[in-house]
Amino acid sequence: EAQVTQNPRYLITVTGKKLTVTCSQNMNHEYMSWYRQDPGLGLRQIYYSMNVEVTDKGDVPEGYKVSRKEKRNFPLILESPSPNQTSLYFCASRIAGSYEQYFGPGTRLTVT
Amino acid sequence: QKEVEQNSGPLSVPEGAIASLNCTYSDRGSQSFFWYRQYSGKSPELIMSIYSNGDKEDGRFTAQLNKASQYVSLLIRDSQPSDSATYLCAVIRGKLIFGQGTELSVKP
């Protein structure tokens, strides 16, 4: 089954404790993105990657890191999480030349 | 001014009625437009795309685009309770830009 997977689905952590949210897709898509979704603000892009070893900042990159060492994986790293990073996070992927995005199931992160 | 604006709702319609969801965008150069549906607690899924002025129909869904007015809408005919969700408008401006979404509630 073609899909984007994320782990964990739910995470409660404390300020300053480094965490990683994994994202994997099995569709051989070149493009992968991370979004955060907050009430009233919609989906905002954090980082995106156009292919292996090619990443760039989205609209709200502060406090986040990403890497793309393999085509299928695009982890999101919060090195020192803060309460304002409490949000619902989505990973998405798409094939080059198409804007039809496939979203993962989401990760609800709470930072206390 | 937000790049993509939607009324947050909630929009409430009775079952069987037409639901009309609206979206305006600020960049006149935007070329491609999308509607995503997001059920509560779930991820967005693409339901319609439209690229040229006019209407595009897919089953009970009709997307309408008016580039001169920078306006795109989604009509849902014969609304069903299962259509209750948040509908996200998205436009291409080098990348996908999403509106904040409109919550639709269809009452039986």
Please give the structure tokens belonging to residue A73.
Answer: 């994986």
Residue in chain A closest to B96 (alpha carbons) equals A99
pLDDT confidence of residue A42: 86
On whether any CB of chain B is under 8 Å from the CB of A48, the answer is: yes
pLDDT confidence of residue A93: 96
Please give the structure tokens belonging to residue A5.
Answer: 């997977």
3-state DSSP call for residue A84?
helix
**Measured between beta carbons, which residues in chain A are less than 8 angstroms from residue B85?**
none
Higher-confidence residue: A99 or B100?
B100
Please give the structure tokens belonging to residue A45.
Answer: 């892009």
Please give the structure tokens belonging to residue A41.
Answer: 């603000």
pLDDT one digit per residue (tens) for chain A, 112 residues: 889 999 999 999 999 999 999 999 999 999 999 999 998 888 999 999 999 999 999 999 999 999 999 999 999 999 999 999 999 999 999 998 888 889 999 999 999 9
To probe the interface with A, which of B50, B96, B102, B103 has the most A CB atoms within 10 Å? B96
Is B1's pLDDT higher than 80? no
How much of chain A is helix, strand and coil, in % rounded to 5? 5, 50, 45
**Pair A21, A107: CB distance under 8 Å:** yes
* pLDDT single digits (tens) B43-82: 999 999 999 999 999 999 999 999 999 999 999 999 999 9
pLDDT confidence of residue A46: 97
Beta-carbon separation of B42 and A106 below 8 A = yes
Selected residues 20-39 of chain A with any CB under 8 Å from a CB in chain B: none
Give the one of A41, A58, A105 whose C-beta lies nearest to B43's C-beta: A105
* pLDDT single digits (tens) B14-37: 999 999 999 999 988 888 999 999
On whether any CB of chain A is under 8 Å from the CB of B100, the answer is: yes
Give the DSSP letter string of B69-101.
Answer: TTEEEEEESS--GGG-EEEEEEEESSSEEE---
Give the one of A90, A99, A106 whose C-beta lies nearest to B32's C-beta: A99
Please give the average per-residue pLDDT across B80-102, as a whole number.
92
